[in-house]
Amino acid sequence: MPHRFTAIATRTPGGWTLSVDDVGTTTSRTLRSAPGMVQGLVARTLSLDPESVAVDVVPDLGAALAGQVRSAREAVKELEARQQAVAEQSRAVAAALKASGLSGYDVASVLGISPQRVSQLLAAAPAEPAERERPPIPPLPRHIWRRWDD
């Protein structure tokens, strides 16, 4: 089980100062490289295997910016959830239209999307139970396949 540590990242002119309670501080030029820097600091200071150290880096952006970041992240999560729901609905409608006898081109016209997108939707749509449980194909009668053996 990894040892989890949280580093508070504070902006400095040369990059970021990373502070870990009861461990110490280190610096990083970018937030992208900050977890590795903190991991190394913790591993060296506490004599731990670096692979056993998990790090969360929390940038100290101030209350106003932190609130804006939190709001933007929440909006993205809501959008992703809505996008997933719309995709599921589109797959279901495309499958229903196709099952009603419409061609792929007609399904595309009804939904206002390209035929290629219809193919993608139908490929991702769950198969009908009847399609999933197809009977095995019977073998060819001997008199038919014997011709190819001659």
Q: Give me the tens of pLDDT residue by residue for the chain, a chain 150 residues long.
A: 789 999 999 999 999 999 999 999 999 999 999 999 999 999 999 999 999 999 999 999 999 999 999 999 999 999 999 999 999 999 999 999 999 999 999 999 999 999 999 999 999 876 655 555 566 766 656 655 554 444
pLDDT at 1: 73
- Angstrom distances, CA of residue 4 to CA of 21, 60, 62, 117, 134: 12, 19, 24, 44, 51
pLDDT at 49: 93
- 5 close to 55: Cβ distance less than 8 angstroms: yes
Q: Is the pTM of this model over 0.75?
A: no
Where are the chain's structural domains? 3-60, 72-124
**What is the Cα–Cα distance from 147 to 26, expressed in whole angstroms?**
79
pLDDT at 9: 97
**What is the Cα–Cα distance from 113 to 90, expressed in whole angstroms?**
11
